Homo-oligomer: A and B are copies of this chain.
Protein backbone atom coordinates (compact mmCIF):
# COMPACT_ATOMS: atom_id res chain seq x y z
CA UNK A 1 0.00 0.00 0.00
CA UNK A 2 1.31 3.40 -0.94
CA UNK A 3 0.18 6.69 0.53
CA UNK A 4 -0.19 9.37 -2.15
CA UNK A 5 -0.53 12.99 -1.13
CA UNK A 6 -2.28 13.70 2.14
CA UNK A 7 -5.39 11.54 1.97
CA UNK A 8 -5.13 8.84 -0.70
CA UNK A 9 -4.03 5.20 -0.59
CA UNK A 10 -2.94 3.35 -3.70
CA UNK A 11 -3.13 -0.42 -3.65
CA UNK A 12 -0.33 -2.48 -5.14
CA UNK A 13 -1.61 -6.08 -5.02
CA UNK A 14 -4.82 -5.55 -6.99
CA UNK A 15 -7.60 -6.40 -4.49
CA UNK A 16 -10.61 -7.03 -6.72
CA UNK A 17 -14.34 -7.61 -6.60
CA UNK A 18 -14.64 -11.35 -7.09
CA UNK A 19 -18.39 -11.50 -6.68
CA UNK A 20 -21.31 -9.19 -5.98
CA UNK A 21 -25.08 -9.14 -5.68
CA UNK A 22 -27.91 -6.69 -5.27
CA UNK A 23 -31.34 -7.51 -3.84
CA UNK A 24 -34.16 -4.96 -3.87
CA UNK A 25 -37.83 -4.22 -3.27
CA UNK A 26 -40.56 -3.86 -5.87
CA UNK A 27 -40.31 -0.13 -6.57
CA UNK A 28 -36.59 -0.50 -7.34
CA UNK A 29 -37.33 -3.41 -9.68
CA UNK A 30 -39.77 -1.15 -11.54
CA UNK A 31 -37.07 1.50 -12.05
CA UNK A 32 -34.63 1.80 -14.96
CA UNK A 33 -32.06 -0.54 -13.34
CA UNK A 34 -34.56 -3.31 -12.59
CA UNK A 35 -33.05 -5.85 -15.00
CA UNK A 36 -29.63 -5.58 -13.34
CA UNK A 37 -30.70 -6.69 -9.84
CA UNK A 38 -30.11 -10.29 -8.79
CA UNK A 39 -33.43 -10.58 -7.03
CA UNK A 40 -36.33 -8.32 -6.16
CA UNK A 41 -39.11 -8.98 -3.67
CA UNK A 42 -42.66 -8.13 -4.72
CA UNK A 43 -43.71 -7.87 -1.09
CA UNK A 44 -42.00 -5.03 0.82
CA UNK A 45 -42.26 -7.01 4.08
CA UNK A 46 -40.11 -9.78 2.55
CA UNK A 47 -42.39 -12.14 4.47
CA UNK A 48 -41.15 -10.78 7.82
CA UNK A 49 -43.26 -9.40 10.64
CA UNK A 50 -41.44 -6.07 10.97
CA UNK A 51 -39.75 -3.60 8.61
CA UNK A 52 -36.50 -4.01 10.52
CA UNK A 53 -36.57 -7.78 10.06
CA UNK A 54 -37.37 -7.22 6.38
CA UNK A 55 -34.27 -5.06 6.04
CA UNK A 56 -32.12 -7.70 7.77
CA UNK A 57 -33.46 -10.22 5.28
CA UNK A 58 -32.24 -8.04 2.40
CA UNK A 59 -28.67 -8.32 3.72
CA UNK A 60 -28.93 -12.05 4.35
CA UNK A 61 -30.14 -12.57 0.78
CA UNK A 62 -27.58 -10.28 -0.87
CA UNK A 63 -24.68 -11.94 0.96
CA UNK A 64 -25.92 -15.45 0.16
CA UNK A 65 -26.27 -14.59 -3.52
CA UNK A 66 -22.82 -12.98 -3.68
CA UNK A 67 -21.32 -16.13 -2.17
CA UNK A 68 -23.33 -18.57 -4.32
CA UNK A 69 -22.42 -16.87 -7.60
CA UNK A 70 -18.80 -17.92 -7.18
CA UNK A 71 -19.50 -21.05 -5.17
CA UNK A 72 -17.91 -19.52 -2.08
CA UNK A 73 -18.49 -20.92 1.41
CA UNK A 74 -18.78 -18.80 4.55
CA UNK A 75 -15.36 -20.08 5.58
CA UNK A 76 -13.87 -18.57 2.41
CA UNK A 77 -14.61 -15.11 3.83
CA UNK A 78 -12.20 -13.90 6.52
CA UNK A 79 -14.08 -10.75 7.54
CA UNK A 80 -17.41 -9.14 6.90
CA UNK A 81 -17.71 -5.34 6.98
CA UNK A 82 -21.32 -4.30 7.30
CA UNK A 83 -23.42 -1.34 8.28
CA UNK A 84 -26.78 0.33 7.81
CA UNK A 85 -28.89 3.28 8.93
CA UNK A 86 -30.90 1.69 11.71
CA UNK A 87 -30.18 2.44 15.36
CA UNK A 88 -27.33 0.20 16.55
CA UNK A 89 -27.01 -1.15 12.98
CA UNK A 90 -29.46 -3.97 13.65
CA UNK A 91 -30.12 -4.79 9.98
CA UNK A 92 -26.51 -5.89 9.74
CA UNK A 93 -26.14 -7.65 13.07
CA UNK A 94 -29.42 -9.57 12.83
CA UNK A 95 -29.11 -10.19 9.09
CA UNK A 96 -25.62 -11.64 9.36
CA UNK A 97 -25.48 -13.19 12.85
CA UNK A 98 -25.82 -16.77 11.65
CA UNK A 99 -22.90 -16.59 9.19
CA UNK A 100 -20.12 -17.25 11.73
CA UNK A 101 -17.80 -14.89 9.87
CA UNK A 102 -15.70 -12.41 11.93
CA UNK A 103 -17.82 -9.26 11.91
CA UNK A 104 -16.77 -5.60 11.91
CA UNK A 105 -19.72 -3.19 12.11
CA UNK A 106 -19.23 0.05 10.18
CA UNK A 107 -21.14 3.30 10.49
CA UNK A 108 -20.93 5.80 7.66
CA UNK A 109 -24.64 6.43 7.07
CA UNK A 110 -25.22 6.39 3.29
CA UNK A 111 -21.45 6.33 2.65
CA UNK A 112 -21.36 2.80 4.06
CA UNK A 113 -20.99 0.94 0.73
CA UNK A 114 -17.77 2.83 -0.04
CA UNK A 115 -16.58 2.53 3.55
CA UNK A 116 -17.07 -1.22 3.69
CA UNK A 117 -15.46 -1.70 0.25
CA UNK A 118 -12.52 0.46 1.34
CA UNK A 119 -12.05 -1.46 4.59
CA UNK A 120 -12.28 -4.80 2.80
CA UNK A 121 -9.72 -3.65 0.23
CA UNK A 122 -7.28 -2.41 2.90
CA UNK A 123 -7.56 -5.73 4.77
CA UNK A 124 -6.99 -7.75 1.60
CA UNK A 125 -4.18 -5.49 0.38
CA UNK A 126 -2.40 -5.59 3.76
CA UNK A 127 -2.60 -9.39 3.98
CA UNK A 128 -5.07 -9.39 6.87
CA UNK A 129 -7.68 -11.15 4.73
CA UNK A 130 -7.72 -13.37 1.69
CA UNK A 131 -11.31 -12.44 1.05
CA UNK A 132 -13.50 -9.88 2.82
CA UNK A 133 -17.14 -9.10 2.29
CA UNK A 134 -18.65 -5.60 2.15
CA UNK A 135 -22.40 -5.21 2.58
CA UNK A 136 -24.99 -2.59 3.38
CA UNK A 137 -28.74 -2.05 3.16
CA UNK A 138 -31.62 0.33 3.65
CA UNK A 139 -35.40 -0.04 3.63
CA UNK A 140 -37.90 2.73 2.89
CA UNK A 141 -40.30 1.74 5.65
CA UNK A 142 -37.78 1.20 8.46
CA UNK A 143 -36.03 4.48 7.57
CA UNK A 144 -39.23 6.54 7.37
CA UNK A 145 -40.35 5.31 10.75
CA UNK A 146 -37.01 5.93 12.40
CA UNK A 147 -35.95 9.20 10.80
CA UNK A 148 -39.22 10.89 9.78
CA UNK A 149 -42.79 9.74 10.43
CA UNK A 150 -44.60 6.39 10.70
CA UNK A 151 -45.96 5.48 7.28
CA UNK A 152 -49.52 5.51 8.65
CA UNK A 153 -49.21 9.23 9.35
CA UNK A 154 -49.10 9.90 5.61
CA UNK A 155 -46.80 12.94 5.95
CA UNK A 156 -46.32 15.25 2.98
CA UNK A 157 -42.78 15.11 1.60
CA UNK A 158 -41.14 18.35 0.39
CA UNK A 159 -39.65 18.48 -3.14
CA UNK A 160 -36.05 18.30 -1.78
CA UNK A 161 -36.77 15.01 0.05
CA UNK A 162 -35.30 11.78 -1.29
CA UNK A 163 -36.87 8.32 -1.29
CA UNK A 164 -34.99 5.74 0.80
CA UNK A 165 -34.17 2.78 -1.40
CA UNK A 166 -35.24 -0.70 -0.27
CA UNK A 167 -32.19 -2.73 -1.22
CA UNK A 168 -28.96 -4.34 -0.21
CA UNK A 169 -25.66 -4.55 -2.07
CA UNK A 170 -22.89 -7.04 -1.23
CA UNK A 171 -19.43 -7.52 -2.71
CA UNK A 172 -16.61 -9.96 -2.05
CA UNK A 173 -13.14 -8.39 -2.25
CA UNK A 174 -10.40 -10.93 -2.90
CA UNK A 175 -6.66 -11.23 -3.25
CA UNK A 176 -5.60 -11.21 -6.88
CA UNK A 177 -5.08 -14.77 -8.08
CA UNK A 178 -6.46 -16.51 -5.01
CA UNK A 179 -9.62 -17.62 -6.69
CA UNK A 180 -8.39 -18.67 -10.07
CA UNK A 181 -9.98 -22.10 -10.02
CA UNK A 182 -13.43 -21.20 -8.83
CA UNK A 183 -13.37 -18.12 -11.02
CA UNK A 184 -12.37 -19.89 -14.17
CA UNK A 185 -15.29 -22.25 -13.78
CA UNK A 186 -17.72 -19.44 -13.16
CA UNK A 187 -16.35 -17.26 -15.96
CA UNK A 188 -16.36 -20.03 -18.52
CA UNK A 189 -19.96 -20.81 -17.88
CA UNK A 190 -20.97 -17.21 -18.50
CA UNK A 191 -18.74 -16.64 -21.53
CA UNK A 192 -19.87 -17.43 -25.03
CA UNK A 193 -16.56 -17.42 -26.80
CA UNK A 194 -12.86 -17.00 -26.13
CA UNK A 195 -12.86 -13.29 -26.95
CA UNK A 196 -15.23 -11.86 -24.36
CA UNK A 197 -13.04 -12.34 -21.29
CA UNK A 198 -14.57 -10.85 -18.19
CA UNK A 199 -12.59 -7.98 -16.68
CA UNK A 200 -11.91 -7.86 -12.96
CA UNK A 201 -12.94 -4.71 -11.05
CA UNK A 202 -9.81 -3.79 -9.05
CA UNK A 203 -9.90 -1.31 -6.16
CA UNK A 204 -6.88 0.75 -7.17
CA UNK A 205 -7.12 3.68 -4.80
CA UNK A 206 -9.02 4.84 -1.74
CA UNK A 207 -9.66 8.28 -0.28
CA UNK A 208 -11.29 8.28 3.15
CA UNK A 209 -13.23 11.48 3.77
CA UNK A 210 -13.10 14.07 6.50
CA UNK A 211 -16.31 15.25 8.14
CA UNK A 212 -17.70 18.38 6.46
CA UNK A 213 -20.41 20.60 7.90
CA UNK A 214 -21.54 23.79 6.20
CA UNK A 215 -24.42 24.26 8.63
CA UNK A 216 -27.33 22.71 6.68
CA UNK A 217 -30.06 21.73 9.18
CA UNK A 218 -32.90 20.53 6.97
CA UNK A 219 -33.29 16.76 7.42
CA UNK A 220 -35.51 16.80 4.34
CA UNK A 221 -32.63 18.03 2.21
CA UNK A 222 -29.89 15.49 2.71
CA UNK A 223 -28.42 16.11 -0.74
CA UNK A 224 -27.55 19.67 0.27
CA UNK A 225 -26.01 18.49 3.54
CA UNK A 226 -23.85 15.86 1.82
CA UNK A 227 -22.70 17.84 -1.23
CA UNK A 228 -19.86 19.65 0.62
CA UNK A 229 -18.35 16.36 1.80
CA UNK A 230 -18.50 14.94 -1.72
CA UNK A 231 -16.82 18.00 -3.20
CA UNK A 232 -14.11 17.96 -0.53
CA UNK A 233 -13.23 14.26 -0.96
CA UNK A 234 -13.18 14.46 -4.76
CA UNK A 235 -10.99 17.58 -4.68
CA UNK A 236 -8.65 15.78 -2.21
CA UNK A 237 -8.42 12.80 -4.54
CA UNK A 238 -7.64 14.86 -7.66
CA UNK A 239 -5.08 16.89 -5.73
CA UNK A 240 -3.39 13.79 -4.24
CA UNK A 241 -3.25 11.84 -7.51
CA UNK A 242 -2.60 14.83 -9.76
CA UNK A 243 -5.35 13.64 -12.08
CA UNK A 244 -8.44 15.37 -13.46
CA UNK A 245 -12.01 14.34 -14.27
CA UNK A 246 -11.30 13.47 -17.91
CA UNK A 247 -8.85 10.77 -16.75
CA UNK A 248 -11.93 8.71 -15.74
CA UNK A 249 -14.90 7.18 -17.59
CA UNK A 250 -17.42 7.73 -14.84
CA UNK A 251 -17.57 9.71 -11.60
CA UNK A 252 -20.38 8.17 -9.60
CA UNK A 253 -21.78 9.68 -6.42
CA UNK A 254 -23.92 7.68 -4.00
CA UNK A 255 -27.14 9.48 -3.35
CA UNK A 256 -26.90 13.23 -3.69
CA UNK A 257 -30.08 13.17 -5.74
CA UNK A 258 -31.01 16.01 -8.07
CA UNK A 259 -30.71 18.86 -5.53
CA UNK A 260 -27.44 17.64 -4.03
CA UNK A 261 -25.90 16.82 -7.41
CA UNK A 262 -26.38 20.38 -8.59
CA UNK A 263 -24.85 21.80 -5.40
CA UNK A 264 -21.97 19.31 -5.64
CA UNK A 265 -21.11 20.51 -9.14
CA UNK A 266 -21.37 24.15 -8.03
CA UNK A 267 -19.06 23.53 -5.06
CA UNK A 268 -16.56 21.77 -7.33
CA UNK A 269 -16.47 24.81 -9.58
CA UNK A 270 -14.96 26.67 -6.58
CA UNK A 271 -12.05 24.23 -6.89
CA UNK A 272 -11.96 24.86 -10.69
CA UNK A 273 -13.16 21.31 -11.26
CA UNK A 274 -15.78 20.62 -13.92
CA UNK A 275 -17.14 17.11 -14.32
CA UNK A 276 -19.06 17.73 -17.55
CA UNK A 277 -21.18 14.70 -18.37
CA UNK A 278 -18.88 12.28 -16.52
CA UNK A 279 -20.90 12.66 -13.32
CA UNK A 280 -23.75 10.31 -12.51
CA UNK A 281 -25.52 9.79 -9.21
CA UNK A 282 -26.99 6.50 -7.97
CA UNK A 283 -29.89 8.42 -6.41
CA UNK A 284 -30.82 9.82 -9.82
CA UNK A 285 -30.28 6.53 -11.66
CA UNK A 286 -32.30 4.08 -9.59
CA UNK A 287 -35.77 5.60 -10.07
CA UNK A 288 -37.51 7.15 -13.06
CA UNK A 289 -38.11 10.75 -11.95
CA UNK A 290 -41.06 11.16 -14.33
CA UNK A 291 -42.96 8.02 -13.42
CA UNK A 292 -41.94 7.09 -9.88
CA UNK A 293 -42.73 10.18 -7.78
CA UNK A 294 -39.57 10.15 -5.70
CA UNK A 295 -39.00 13.91 -5.63
CA UNK A 296 -35.22 14.54 -5.49
CA UNK A 297 -34.26 10.89 -6.13
CA UNK A 298 -33.23 7.80 -4.19
CA UNK A 299 -31.19 7.68 -0.99
CA UNK A 300 -30.13 5.32 1.79
CA UNK A 301 -27.16 2.96 2.12
CA UNK A 302 -28.91 0.50 -0.18
CA UNK A 303 -29.10 3.04 -3.00
CA UNK A 304 -25.37 3.30 -3.72
CA UNK A 305 -25.01 -0.32 -2.58
CA UNK A 306 -27.47 -1.82 -5.04
CA UNK A 307 -26.55 0.40 -8.01
CA UNK A 308 -22.81 -0.24 -7.63
CA UNK A 309 -23.23 -3.97 -6.93
CA UNK A 310 -25.34 -4.47 -10.06
CA UNK A 311 -25.10 -2.26 -13.15
CA UNK A 312 -21.79 -0.54 -12.38
CA UNK A 313 -19.76 -3.64 -11.51
CA UNK A 314 -21.37 -5.53 -14.41
CA UNK A 315 -20.39 -2.73 -16.80
CA UNK A 316 -16.83 -2.75 -15.46
CA UNK A 317 -16.65 -6.53 -15.97
CA UNK A 318 -17.89 -6.07 -19.53
CA UNK A 319 -15.35 -3.36 -20.23
CA UNK A 320 -17.98 -0.63 -20.71
CA UNK A 321 -16.16 1.30 -17.98
CA UNK A 322 -12.45 0.90 -17.33
CA UNK A 323 -11.80 3.65 -14.86
CA UNK A 324 -14.48 4.59 -12.34
CA UNK A 325 -14.52 6.85 -9.29
CA UNK A 326 -17.24 5.73 -6.89
CA UNK A 327 -17.97 8.01 -3.97
CA UNK A 328 -20.80 7.37 -1.54
CA UNK A 329 -21.86 10.16 0.79
CA UNK A 330 -23.36 10.01 4.27
CA UNK A 331 -25.25 12.41 6.53
CA UNK A 332 -23.98 11.78 10.07
CA UNK A 333 -26.94 13.11 12.03
CA UNK A 334 -29.64 11.47 14.12
CA UNK A 335 -33.22 12.55 14.83
CA UNK A 336 -31.99 13.47 18.34
CA UNK A 337 -29.21 15.74 17.08
CA UNK A 338 -31.64 17.46 14.71
CA UNK A 339 -34.20 17.93 17.49
CA UNK A 340 -31.44 19.55 19.55
CA UNK A 341 -30.93 22.13 16.79
CA UNK A 342 -27.69 20.70 15.45
CA UNK A 343 -26.58 20.94 11.82
CA UNK A 344 -25.91 17.85 9.70
CA UNK A 345 -22.27 16.78 9.46
CA UNK A 346 -21.52 14.73 6.38
CA UNK A 347 -18.84 12.54 4.92
CA UNK A 348 -17.85 11.00 1.58
CA UNK A 349 -15.48 8.13 0.92
CA UNK A 350 -14.08 7.42 -2.54
CA UNK A 351 -12.78 4.30 -4.24
CA UNK A 352 -11.12 4.20 -7.63
CA UNK A 353 -12.04 1.06 -9.54
CA UNK A 354 -10.21 -0.06 -12.68
CA UNK A 355 -11.04 -2.90 -15.07
CA UNK A 356 -8.11 -5.33 -15.29
Contacts and interface: CB of A to CB of B under 8 A. Distances in A.
A82 to B, nearest CB: 9
A103 B52 contact: no
Interface string A46-75: 000110110000000000000000000001
A107 B83 contact: yes
Given A103-B210, A107-B106, A128-B122, A337 B9 contact: no
B102 A105 contact: no
Contacts of A340: 49-50, 52-53
Contact of A345 (B97, B106, B332): B97
A355 interface: no
**In which size bucket is the chain A interface?**
35 or more
A39 B146 CA distance: 36
B115 A104 contact: yes
Interface stretch (A84-92, A188-196, A291-299): A84-92
Contact of A94 (B85, B93, B342): B342
Contacts of A127: 1-3, 126
A101 interface: yes
A52 B2 CA distance: 38
A255 interface: no
A15 B31 CA distance: 48
Interface of A: 1-3, 6-7, 9, 49-50, 52-53, 75, 78-79, 83, 85-90, 93-94, 96-97, 99-109, 115, 119, 122-123, 125-128, 130, 208-211, 213, 332-337, 340, 342, 345, 347
